[in-house]
């Protein structure tokens, strides 16, 4: 079963707590906060946008505790695929894990594509005359380079990730320190009229938009859960890496958001013709320490963006591997590279979809991309996984759980409410783009693909329903 001691030629447990936390934090704090601060300000209509980052952190922590319990109990490669298979096999066979992998093959690359969009966006600060076509070609080149670097063994990847994590911390720290040297409390905490009018629909629409942007910024706290088969002492390391990365990034984001608002007038951030709209961190450095410092930090931000795409595809490419190997997804995705032992088809497919998502974001807008990826993710991963936790507690009380959710079931309920708010307001916050309809269409297409696949494999509903409770996870 997934998560059992790695067979000959399979994954090896080499990733410790520091590397696991670094992988999560590198994915979480990529280009996200540097490009979404203006989007968050626009959603709330003022510096009260800090509410969005706080709400996103609360949702991430509640949902992270779901991941922590499931990941510690079932530390196999694939993350949600493993959990959904065990929880829902009794009634629907392999349908739910198949649908999860189907949707993950879209939303994970879309998350990575936002990082590449942000990379090109900040690159224009250094090259303001970069054309649309030139930016498109550079972004596609970045994706090719990421795939080339990942075409290596995990030992090299761990070292590269640690270096990029240091660069990420340095870039964020410099922006925070620079903003502190020229901070204006009046600028950061002067709110427009009716900023906290909780009885108006306008506030809650903005809150839902801000919560969507906020949880997008925290996405990545679960990256190592996708790599459970490669984590040392997963029963201890996985929960700690998730909680530590969320708490650490929350502190960083709050300092970054408040600092930027204390230096740059928020009206500049929502002006599409202002550099603070596309490159707010660079604008902060230029105003505080000058153009030279701004250029240097912009380069660090570009490296940070690259690191987030790197670590995201590293973890995401593992998702379809175990599913295919255990006949829960298309068989070619179960192929490992004969020398470097990484999932060949998963990495290649997600690389291609990342490229497509990047071009979509470049020729629409970043908000559209964020709304689309979150709605696709909510149905099968977020909501179904919360339910899976409850199902497994009832059906498998004997399952070893090195970590049990604190205050269960309150975090599950809080996460459920948060995800439903994001999904319910998606169309309203992305007018004319129809993210809810597109997400439902993608799931419906996945159902058709499942029927075709299960008919070919002669599995339920065209064959016997296979139920296995013979878990052999190792969680020292």
Per-residue HEC secondary structure of the chain comes to CCCCCCCCCCCCCCECHHHHHHHHHHHHCCCHHHHHHHHHHHHHCCHHHHHHHHHHHHHHHHHHHHHHHHHHHCCCECCHHHHHHHHHHHHHCCHHHHHHHHHHHHHHHHHHHHHHHHHHHHHHHHCCCCCHHHHHHHHHHHHHHHHHHHCCCHHHHHHHHHHHHHHHHHHHHHHHHHHHHCCCHHHHHCCCCCCCCCCCHHHHHHHHHHHHHHHHHHCCCCHHHHEHHHECCHHHHHHHHHHHHHHHHHHHHHHHHHHHHHHCCHHHHCCCCCHHHHCHHHHHHHHHHCHHHHHHHHHHHHHHHHHHHHHHHHHHCCHHHHHHHCCCCCHHHHCECCCCCCEHHHHHHHHHHHHHHHHHHHHCCHHHHHHHHHHHHHHHHHHHHHHHHHHHHHHCCCCCCCCCCCCCCHHHHHHHHHHHHHHHCHHHHCCCCCHHHHHHHHHHHHHHHHHHHHHHHCCCCCCCCCCCCCCCCCCC
The upper half-sphere exposure of residue 36, i.e. CA atoms within 13 Å in the direction of its Cβ, equals 31
CA distance 373 to 311: 18
In tens, the pLDDT along 164-200 reads 778 878 888 999 999 999 999 999 998 888 888 888 7
Domain assignment present for residue 420? The answer is yes
Neighbours of 136 (CB within 10 A): 16
Domain assignment present for residue 181? The answer is yes
> Which is nearest to 174 in space by CA: 13, 293, 262?
293
Q: Residue 109: which domain range?
A: 17-457
User: Is residue 79 within 8 Å of residue 346, measured between CB atoms?
Assistant: no
**pLDDT of amino acid 7:** 40
**pLDDT of amino acid 10:** 55
> How many whole angstroms from its chain centre is CA 397?
30
Kindly provide the b/e burial profile for residues 60-83, where b requires at least 16 CB atoms within 10 angstroms of the residue's own CB.
Answer: bbbbbbbbbbbbbbbbbbbbbbbb
Domain assignment present for residue 189? The answer is yes
CA distance 469 to 396: 9
CA distance 319 to 340: 17
Neighbours of 348 (CB within 10 A): 15
CA angle 80, 83, 87 (to 5 degrees): 135
CA distance 193 to 447: 48
Domain assignment present for residue 7? The answer is no
CATH code, domain carrying 402: 1.20.1740.10
Helix pair 280-289, 291-316: axis angle to 10 deg: 150
**pLDDT of amino acid 416:** 96
**pLDDT of amino acid 281:** 93
Domain assignment present for residue 468? The answer is no
Domain assignment present for residue 162? The answer is yes
Total domains present in the chain: 1
Q: Which residues does the chain have with pLDDT short of 70?
A: 1-12, 77-78, 152-158, 160-161, 337, 340, 469-476
Q: What are phi and psi of 354, to 5 degrees?
A: -60, -40
Start-to-end Cα distance in the chain: 17
**pLDDT of amino acid 8:** 44
Domain assignment present for residue 107? The answer is yes
**pLDDT of amino acid 6:** 43
Domain assignment present for residue 134? The answer is yes
In tens, the pLDDT along 408-465 reads 999 999 999 999 999 999 998 888 889 999 999 999 999 999 999 999 889 889 988 7
Total-model pTM: 0.87
> How many whole angstroms from its chain centre is CA 323?
20
> Which is nearest to 50 in space by CA: 33, 74, 64, 69?
33
């Amino acid at each position: 079963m997934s998560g059992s001691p790695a067979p000959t030629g399979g994954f090896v447990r080499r990733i410790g707590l520091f590397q696991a936390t670094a992988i999560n934090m590198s994915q979480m704090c990529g280009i996200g906060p540097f490009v979404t601060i203006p989007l968050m300000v626009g959603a709330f209509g003022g510096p009260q946008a800090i509410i969005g980052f706080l709400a996103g952190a609360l949702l991430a922590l509640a949902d992270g505790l779901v991941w922590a319990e499931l990941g510690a109990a079932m530390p196999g490669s694939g993350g949600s695929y493993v959990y959904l298979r065990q929880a829902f096999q009794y009634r629907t066979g392999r349908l739910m894990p198949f649908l999860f992998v189907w949707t993950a093959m879209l939303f994970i690359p879309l998350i990575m594509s936002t990082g590449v969009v942000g990379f090109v966006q900040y690159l224009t600060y250094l090259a303001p005359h970069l054309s649309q076509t030139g930016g498109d070609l550079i972004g596609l080149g970045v994706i090719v380079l990421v795939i080339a670097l990942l075409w290596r063994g995990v030992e090299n990847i761990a070292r590269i990730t640690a270096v990029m994590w240091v660069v990420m911390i340095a870039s964020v720290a410099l922006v925070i320190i620079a903003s502190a040297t020229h901070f204006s409390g009046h600028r950061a905490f002067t709110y427009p009229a009716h900023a906290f009018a909780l009885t108006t629909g306008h506030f809650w629409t903005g809150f839902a938009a801000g919560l969507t942007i906020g949880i997008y910024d925290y996405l990545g706290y679960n990256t190592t859960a996708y790599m459970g088969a490669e984590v040392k002492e997963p029963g201890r390391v996985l929960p700690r890496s998730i909680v530590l990365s969320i708490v650490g990034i929350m502190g960083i984001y709050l300092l970054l958001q408040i600092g930027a608002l204390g230096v740059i007038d928020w009206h500049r951030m929502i002006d599409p013709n202002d550099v603070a709209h596309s490159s707010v961190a660079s604008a902060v450095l230029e105003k505080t320490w000058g153009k030279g410092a701004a250029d240097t930090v912009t380069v660090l931000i570009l490296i940070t963006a690259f690191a987030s795409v790197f670590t995201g595809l590293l973890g995401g490419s593992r998702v379809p591997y175990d599913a295919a190997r255990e006949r829960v997804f298309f068989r070619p995705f179960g192929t490992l590279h004969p020398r470097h032992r990484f999932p060949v088809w998963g990495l290649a497919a997600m690389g291609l979809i990342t490229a497509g998502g990047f071009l979509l974001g470049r020729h629409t807008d970043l908000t559209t991309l964020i709304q689309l990826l979150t709605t696709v993710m909510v149905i099968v991963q977020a909501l179904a996984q919360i339910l899976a936790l409850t199902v497994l507690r009832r059906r498998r009380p004997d399952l070893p759980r090195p970590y049990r959710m604190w205050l269960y079931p309150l975090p599950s309920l809080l996460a459920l409410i948060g995800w439903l708010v994001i999904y319910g307001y998606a169309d309203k916050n992305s007018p004319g783009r129809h993210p809810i309809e597109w997400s439902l269409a993608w799931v419906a297409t996945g159902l058709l693909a499942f029927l075709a696949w299960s008919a070919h494999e002669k599995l339920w509903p065209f064959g016997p329903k296979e139920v296995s409770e013979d878990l052999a996870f190792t969680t020292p």
